[in-house]
Chains A and B, each alone.
Chain A
């Protein structure tokens, strides 16, 4: 066996690198293993065509806590977060386009053009959601409370959560309990009348979820995606100079600076277990590396069904792992463009192109896109979230040229009519481009190169099981103390020395490094 480490981290996504960095900083000898040649897992910025670089898979790093930025001194390691003044732009066929801004006054102005009544309600809505998300942020910064434990430490933690909940005040405390299990449709209907506004907000309640906005619990997911964002700042995206890959590079640099070793092209094939304790990792190459602890950023299912010999795990635990709902729902279309798309409803190359371009005219539109996937098909009118990262970071494309990254939902991993084929992939690409071209007719003429990744492609290329980015959908039954499986939400697993540090763990996807930071904390506590 080769040189021994304190901790081996499998994978090099945001969570894994945060875990590695924090562990290394605390003096642990850390080795990060990445199977691909590039770091980042699903967070990669790759060459799309000569001179064009694009966030090939995910184009949003998720909210990165300032505490992590500070602890790992990421800015010193090259992190340059890019914040666009516009968070989202919803082209509209019916009147004024909807533009949401970081600046609340401008958001209210934009909403007013579509619905004065909604604009009047916005500040209250923004404040309320901000406070409810603030409560989640508090819960997300610690291991989730164990609701039925009688251990003093757990009771204390539970009491802390209870007091925090009470701190919201009587009205908002029950409001939180009422809102979390709601369908986002019902929540938004209570506040607003404008379809585009409701759909644009509601879209964040269905991200990477195999459910439509009428499904209970989607209000929770919308709040989840508000965690850490300023009140009223909806649909904000986290990215950096160099794309999401820029965030990964800064994290890797920081981890290395604290002494972590990072190996690429090193695919873990097995987690070694001796006497019920994780003792190291075997690579595809046959090499075995010993370690006192292993933190797996691989999704829980593959971790326990493939990497660990299933015989090492309790059947009930394996059963729970097998039941994790982690269905692929999205596809990616990446475009190299000769110029900027011109949107009919808002011409010009204004700041609206710097936010996410959200094709979300109505909540029913989103629901129908889900209906198609639910029955094993792909809607020709899917929900789209397009971004043009080369506007904020011109380095991503040759001068005057641009890249566009389009996330497409709902696209099922399994089609009813048979497997994904080249023809089906291209048909998906065509329908996405056609849909965008309805709003920006010049788009088709600008496309110099097109890349389409189906859920099957995302699985093969970036290791996302079924193409699911969050390693487990963020539904209520898979959140907090239920994530990744009930009773094992504190990073540790039934195998001593083996920890889960990926987005399959609490607090889940969309919170950059959240699960990694908690895993690091658990490992340090475990000695």
Chain B
């Protein structure tokens, strides 16, 4: 048997790496085990076509907690975030809606569509800012168990109550509405401009199997607003070198704090002795001992794959079986010989350095959801497109480009199952839809990579291809994430912890789960 460790982290995704770095920083001897040949999980950059680099899965960064960037000094490890400064929503009638980094320019653009909305725009921005500030402390806290009478939980609950009281009734009610409403209904209270509502509500559906008219999506909208602190429309950033660079930077920080990272090391099982985790067994038979084992994998894998069922209460396993994953999004990555030429805004321009959102109306997205509800991919999907090579020229050979298309909806449980043929049909639907707005796209494609939720699962391990390790639905948040009583990063097995996005506060390259898990582990000694 090899040397022993204070902690083994299963999975080198960004949360696992964050946990490793924080534990390392506290002086623990940490080993990270990653199944693939590179760290990052779903936050990886790969050269899937010679000379063209892709953020294969996750493609934008905005939620990464500032305290993590600071604590781990990530810029010194190569993290450089480049802003995505605009969002262009092309419309079927040849017009467009655009939001720019320049606030006044956005208001003028909005005024063109709806003077009323231009008036409401600032107030809305202010409300969302307040809401983001109201939620921020909650995202940074370890969820209490509301049924527990332990002083720690009671204190934590009291703190939460106090927090809500300081918010005051108005803000609390607004927050309650955001938590329970659909993004479409919520936005209807403010705006009338369809592409504006659709483009905003689109961030409420990302990673969920819900439509913009489904209650609960307003919260996901807010979740994606967390990155917005300066009143910009949607200040997403792009990591220089792709999202893999974020993972590499965190890995670099972890290594500097003494952590060891092994790739190509697939964990088969957590070794449990007398109800206590004592190490892991790799798929190659190797066993490694550690005082603490931390799973960065999703709740399904953490509880149902990595440990023997006999080690866990039956009702816990049953509850995990009920936890909803249902991946709903796919990805199309393109290597392009030239830039796409959008009919609504021809030629090269600043709009190609921002996001391009195919979301002409709320009904458009809702119809895409209708397809998926009954087991089909959207014939006319919602897409969030960026051209990383426009922001970071190193991503593609000179004069050439890479395009990242996030697509929703593509249900994991496709009628008849995903096949090569169905994958290509899905890719065709995406390209055909895009070609309606940028007709030259088809001839510009040098290489196309289509990723279905099934592919996400097969490659990264994420159950059902859910990019958040479990839906961000109301009944799967905070102290319910992943399970009541086990939302505090612990598990019923002593010494076995969870640190993935399947725990509070959830996904989106935040790193918050990883950080809170590290703190819980350190608290337990």
A482 touches B167 (CB 8 A): no
B215 touches A174 (CB 8 A): no
Measured as residues with beta carbon below 8 angstroms from the partner, the interface class of chain A is 35 or more
- Complex contacts, B320 vs chain A, CB 8 Å: none
Measured CB to CB, the closest approach of chain A to B316, in angstroms, equals: 12
Q: Please, which residue of chain B has its CB at the minimum distance from the CB of A181?
A: B474
A475 touches B146 (CB 8 A): no
A182 touches B475 (CB 8 A): yes
A217 touches B215 (CB 8 A): yes
A148 touches B165 (CB 8 A): yes
Q: Please, which residue of chain B has its CB at the minimum distance from the CB of A320?
A: B173
A486 touches B173 (CB 8 A): yes
A486 touches B475 (CB 8 A): no
B169 touches A486 (CB 8 A): yes
- Complex contacts, A375 vs chain B, CB 8 Å: 363, 366-367
B475 touches A178 (CB 8 A): yes
Which residues in window 117-172 of B have CB below 8 A to A? 146-147, 164-165, 167-170, 172
A150 touches B215 (CB 8 A): no
A217 touches B173 (CB 8 A): no
For residue A374, CB closer than 8 A to chain B, the reply is: yes
* Given A173-B146, A477-B176: 16 more A-B contacts, CB < 8 Å: A146-B169, A148-B169, A170-B147, A173-B147, A174-B146, A174-B485, A177-B484, A215-B182, A215-B214, A216-B214, A216-B473, A216-B474, A325-B185, A367-B373, A371-B370, A375-B363
A475 touches B167 (CB 8 A): no
B485 touches A482 (CB 8 A): no
For residue B374, CB closer than 8 A to chain A, the reply is: yes
For residue A186, CB closer than 8 A to chain B, the reply is: yes
A476 touches B147 (CB 8 A): no
| Binary contact track A424-460/B, C-beta < 8 Å → 1, others 0 | 0000000000000000000000000000000000000
CA distance A298 to B135 in the complex (A): 37
CA distance A149 to B474 in the complex (A): 24
A486 touches B176 (CB 8 A): yes
Q: Which of B185, B363, B475, B484 contacts A181 (CB 8 A)?
A: B475
Which residues in window 446-490 of A have CB below 8 A to B? 475-477, 481-482, 486-487
Measured CB to CB, the closest approach of chain B to A209, in angstroms, equals: 10
Task: List 25 interface pairs A-B (beta carbons < 8 Å), by A numbering.
Answer: A147-B172, A148-B168, A148-B169, A177-B146, A177-B480, A179-B475, A181-B180, A181-B216, A181-B475, A182-B475, A211-B214, A215-B182, A216-B210, A216-B216, A216-B474, A216-B475, A367-B373, A374-B366, A375-B366, A475-B180, A475-B215, A477-B177, A477-B180, A482-B177, A486-B173
Q: Provided the pairs A148-B168, A179-B475, A486-B169 are in contact, do residues A374 and B213 lie with their beta carbons within 8 angstroms?
A: yes
CA distance A438 to B213 in the complex (A): 32
CA distance A173 to B181 in the complex (A): 23
CA distance A330 to B332 in the complex (A): 42
- Complex contacts, B37 vs chain A, CB 8 Å: none
CA distance A186 to B174 in the complex (A): 27
For residue A422, CB closer than 8 A to chain B, the reply is: no
CA distance A173 to B213 in the complex (A): 29
- Complex contacts, B185 vs chain A, CB 8 Å: 325
Q: Provided the pairs A170-B147, A174-B146, A364-B374 are in contact, do residues A214 and B214 lie with their beta carbons within 8 angstroms?
A: yes
The 6 closest A-B pairs by CB, nearest first: A486-B173, A181-B474, A174-B484, A476-B180, A216-B216, A170-B147
A166 touches B147 (CB 8 A): yes
CA distance A327 to B360 in the complex (A): 24
For residue B322, CB closer than 8 A to chain A, the reply is: yes
A residues with a Cβ closer than 8 A to B are 146-150, 166, 170, 173-174, 177-179, 181-182, 186, 190, 211, 214-217, 323, 325, 364, 367, 371, 374-375, 475-477, 481-482, 486-487
For residue B324, CB closer than 8 A to chain A, the reply is: yes
Which residues in window 331-382 of B have CB below 8 A to A? 363, 366-367, 370, 373-374
Count, A-B residue pairs, CB within 8 A: 95
- Complex contacts, B147 vs chain A, CB 8 Å: 166, 170, 173-174
Q: Please, which residue of chain B has its CB at the minimum distance from the CB of A486?
A: B173
Measured CB to CB, the closest approach of chain A to B150, in angstroms, equals: 12
- Complex contacts, A170 vs chain B, CB 8 Å: 147, 485
Q: Please, which residue of chain A has its CB at the minimum distance from the CB of B363?
A: A375
B164 touches A147 (CB 8 A): yes
For residue B189, CB closer than 8 A to chain A, the reply is: yes
- Complex contacts, B367 vs chain A, CB 8 Å: 375
B residues with a Cβ closer than 8 A to A are 146-147, 164-165, 167-170, 172-174, 176-177, 180-182, 185, 189, 210, 213-216, 322, 324, 363, 366-367, 370, 373-374, 473-475, 479-480, 484-485
Q: Provided the pairs A374-B213, A477-B181 are in contact, do residues A186 and B165 lie with their beta carbons within 8 angstroms?
A: no
- Complex contacts, A181 vs chain B, CB 8 Å: 180, 215-216, 473-475
Measured CB to CB, the closest approach of chain A to B217, in angstroms, equals: 9
- Complex contacts, A481 vs chain B, CB 8 Å: 173
CA distance A78 to B164 in the complex (A): 49
B169 touches A149 (CB 8 A): yes
A487 touches B215 (CB 8 A): no
Measured CB to CB, the closest approach of chain B to A326, in angstroms, equals: 12
Measured CB to CB, the closest approach of chain A to B169, in angstroms, equals: 5
CA distance A178 to B147 in the complex (A): 13
- Complex contacts, A217 vs chain B, CB 8 Å: 180, 215-216
- Complex contacts, B480 vs chain A, CB 8 Å: 174, 177-178
Measured CB to CB, the closest approach of chain B to A374, in angstroms, equals: 7
Q: Please, which residue of chain B has its CB at the minimum distance from the CB of A178?
A: B475
B373 touches A214 (CB 8 A): yes
CA distance A487 to B172 in the complex (A): 10
A482 touches B173 (CB 8 A): yes
CA distance A149 to B161 in the complex (A): 10
CA distance A149 to B322 in the complex (A): 36
Q: Please, which residue of chain A has its CB at the minimum distance from the CB of B172?
A: A148
CA distance A268 to B213 in the complex (A): 36
CA distance A182 to B324 in the complex (A): 11
CA distance A19 to B407 in the complex (A): 54
- Complex contacts, A148 vs chain B, CB 8 Å: 164-165, 167-169, 172
- Complex contacts, A364 vs chain B, CB 8 Å: 374
Q: Please, which residue of chain B has its CB at the minimum distance from the CB of A485?
A: B173
Q: Please, which residue of chain A has its CB at the minimum distance from the CB of B168?
A: A148
- Complex contacts, B216 vs chain A, CB 8 Å: 181, 216-217
Measured CB to CB, the closest approach of chain A to B199, in angstroms, equals: 20
A476 touches B215 (CB 8 A): yes
Measured CB to CB, the closest approach of chain A to B479, in angstroms, equals: 8
B189 touches A323 (CB 8 A): yes
- Complex contacts, B181 vs chain A, CB 8 Å: 475, 477
Determine which residue in A146, A190, A216 has the highest number of CB atoms from chain B within 10 A of its CB, and name it: A216
Measured CB to CB, the closest approach of chain B to A472, in angstroms, equals: 13
CA distance A217 to B164 in the complex (A): 22
- Complex contacts, A374 vs chain B, CB 8 Å: 213, 366
Measured CB to CB, the closest approach of chain A to B66, in angstroms, equals: 28
Q: Provided the pairs A174-B484, A215-B214 are in contact, do residues A190 and B322 lie with their beta carbons within 8 angstroms?
A: yes
CA distance A186 to B216 in the complex (A): 14
Q: Provided the pairs A148-B165, A217-B180, A486-B176 are in contact, do residues A178 and B484 lie with their beta carbons within 8 angstroms?
A: yes
CA distance A198 to B373 in the complex (A): 17
Measured CB to CB, the closest approach of chain B to A237, in angstroms, equals: 27
CA distance A375 to B366 in the complex (A): 9
Measured CB to CB, the closest approach of chain B to A64, in angstroms, equals: 28
Q: Please, which residue of chain A has its CB at the minimum distance from the CB of B218?
A: A477
- Complex contacts, B172 vs chain A, CB 8 Å: 147-148
CA distance A182 to B474 in the complex (A): 7
CA distance A136 to B182 in the complex (A): 23
CA distance A371 to B363 in the complex (A): 11
CA distance A115 to B73 in the complex (A): 59
CA distance A323 to B367 in the complex (A): 25
CA distance A170 to B145 in the complex (A): 10
CA distance A371 to B371 in the complex (A): 11
B215 touches A486 (CB 8 A): no
Q: Please, which residue of chain A has its CB at the minimum distance from the CB of B178?
A: A477
- Complex contacts, A476 vs chain B, CB 8 Å: 180, 215
- Complex contacts, A214 vs chain B, CB 8 Å: 214, 373
CA distance A214 to B172 in the complex (A): 27
Q: Please, which residue of chain A has its CB at the minimum distance from the CB of B164?
A: A148
